[in-house]
Amino acid sequence: MAGALAAGRAPVAGAPIAVRWLLLALLPKLASSSLSSWMPDRATVWADLSWASSTEIDLQLAQISDFKGMRFSWKPEPWTEHWSAFVLHLPAWTGQHWQIPLLSVAAYFIAIPALRRLVATKGKWNVRRFAFYWNFSLSLFSWCGVFACVPVLVDTLQQHGFYFTTCAPAAWYGGGWCGLFVALFIYSKVAELVDTVLLLLAGK
């Protein structure tokens, strides 16, 4: 009797486990099918990666005067206009030097095991003073970016709302100090790799 009851319970007890294993087996297929429905194909990805902006295209974008029927009213201060020509060249320069982020990622993956081995053999480095000045300079840079970009953000939100602020072309914020610090913020991601180097040298 006990054996019969145990045999009857076995399928019931095993059913949830079987369902779990079935779901785990189906999840990768379901995820891949859902992702493939909106992911771009190989040709589109290659076209995006190989596209490079030019100064002519950037100058054309800078002449845009409206977006979705809304005109842009904020203008940089006259004393910052001399930065505009410099900022307009940054997208083209970035497109021509696309190797920099790839080399930075490669250096990152090489530096981690190399520095760990160095610290293991030579001991920790005293980088506290350098780390203080380095982090202070990054903090100062971040605050400069806040003072340069927040006025543009607030003014655009007040004038045209959230959609315009988040979807308008880069030409709207690509001039003056705002455009300069937006570009420098992007490039600063490479410089922030120094943080990883300092942490590894400190044995953390």
66, β-bridge pairs: 71
- Read off the pLDDT band of 141 (50, 70, 90): very high
Structure tokens at 93: 């320069």
How far from 69 is each of 26, 65, 79, 142, 193, CA to CA, in Å? 47, 10, 29, 33, 42
Residue type, 32: S
Share of the chain above pLDDT 70, in %: 53
Q: Give Cα 52 to chain centroid, integer Å.
A: 18
106 compared with 168, residue with greater pLDDT: 106
Q: List phi, psi (to 5°) of 173.
A: -120, 15
Residue 123 pLDDT > 60 = yes
pLDDT for position 2: 44
Collapsing DSSP states into helix, strand and coil, what is residue 67? Answer: strand
158-189, pLDDT tens digit by residue? 877 887 777 776 666 666 677 788 888 888 88
Cβ burial 91-119 (10 Å sphere, 16+ → b, else e): bbebeeeeeeeeeeeeeeeeeeeebeeeb
94, HSE (Cβ side, Cα atoms, 13 Å): 15
The H-assigned helical ranges of the chain are 2-36, 42-50, 55-62, 84-96, 99-122, 128-167, 176-191, 193-201
pLDDT for position 23: 66
Q: Where in the chain are the domains?
A: 1-39, 47-201
